[in-house]
Structure 1
Amino acid sequence: MLSIVVEHIFLLVIVTLISVLQNAFFATKVEGEGKEHNNKTAFERVSCANRNCMDSYPTFLAVMWCAGLCLNQAPAAFAGIIYLVARQKYFVGYMGQTSQSTPGFLFGKRVLAFLILMCIVGIFNFLLVRYLGNDYKDTMETITNAASALLLIP
């Protein structure tokens, strides 16, 4: 029984652990800039970028897990990895000019919108099965698998 459960969530677990490592990297960068007392603006930028990433982190985890459990873990985990790349781009961009962080921010918003849409579709399919007896999960999984590749388009 346990192996069946793990089989349906292991990709989500891997992405979650990678995101925890990324958070540790961000915290290390903030700590490193904090120890350098000669550049206060760099510390403020890194600290602000870290706070902004932390503000959206619970939303990311919730929609990734909801999408993975309600619909399909593979495209949800793929979108999660893409989101982590976008968040890294945002963080690094924020340390330079503020305008350099905009592409990462917009890309991250698009990935979150995809994950939210996956959640809605998965919940809608559950309601269809529950109350009407129609199951479109295979069709929806095929569509989301194909649509997740579109996330790579900048």
Structure 2
Amino acid sequence: MYSVVVEHIYLLVIVTLISVLQNAFFALKVEKEGNCQNIPTSGFERVCCANRNCMDSYPTFLAVMWCAGLCLNQAPAAFAGIIYLVARQKYFIGYMGQTSQSTPGYQFGKRILFFLFLMCIVGIFNYLLVYYYGSDYKEYVETITSASSALLLIP
């Protein structure tokens, strides 16, 4: 039984652990920028703000990624999770320069969160169809989400 459960979540676990490492990287950047000078600089304020913004959206990301992976299919959810982490890295690095450089990463991240949210809704809707009507469209929906997850790479 244990291997069956792990088989359905291991990709989500890997993406979650990578996101934890990314959070540690962000925290180290904030600490490094804070230790450089005793007087808070604009660079320190930008790094702190970027870190805070990333932390504000982190619970939402984890919730929709895990729900999408459990309700529908872990492979496209994990793929979207990796792409979201790349977008979040782009946002963080862009925010350290000028705030206008962070806008593409922010918008890309929003689109990925929306895709994960739609996966959750479709998975729940499919479950309700199975429960009340006996119609299971999970294979078709998994095929569509797997194919459409590649569209996330288009900026």
Q: TM-score, normalised by structure 1?
A: 0.99
Matched, 1:71 2:72: yes
Other-structure match for 1:2: 2
Deviation sequence 1:114-143 (CA, Å, 0-9, x none): 000000000000000000110000000000
Other-structure match for 2:123: 122
Other-structure match for 1:148: 149
Matched, 1:35 2:12: no
Matched, 1:17 2:20: no
Whole-angstrom distance in 1 between the partners of 2:18 and 2:106: 19
Other-structure match for 2:60: 59
Identity rate, percent: 81
Deviation sequence 1:76-103 (CA, Å, 0-9, x none): 0000000000000000000011110000
Letter aligned with residue 49 of structure 1: A
Whole-angstrom distance in 2 between the partners of 1:97 and 1:29: 16
Other-structure match for 1:138: 139
What's the C-alpha RMSD, in Å, of the aligned pairs?
A: 0.7
Q: Which runs of 4+ in 1 moved over 2 A?
A: none
Other-structure match for 1:48: 49
Unaligned runs of 5+ in 1: none
Letter aligned with residue 35 of structure 2: K
| Matched position secondary structure for 2:9 | helix
| Matched position secondary structure for 2:8 | helix
Whole-angstrom distance in 2 between the partners of 1:58 and 1:98: 23
Letter aligned with residue 145 of structure 2: T
Unaligned runs of 5+ in 2: none
Displacement of 1:51 in angstroms is 0.1
Other-structure match for 1:105: 106
Whole-angstrom distance in 1 between the partners of 2:13 and 2:98: 34
Deviation sequence 1:35-61 (CA, Å, 0-9, x none): 011661110000000000000000000
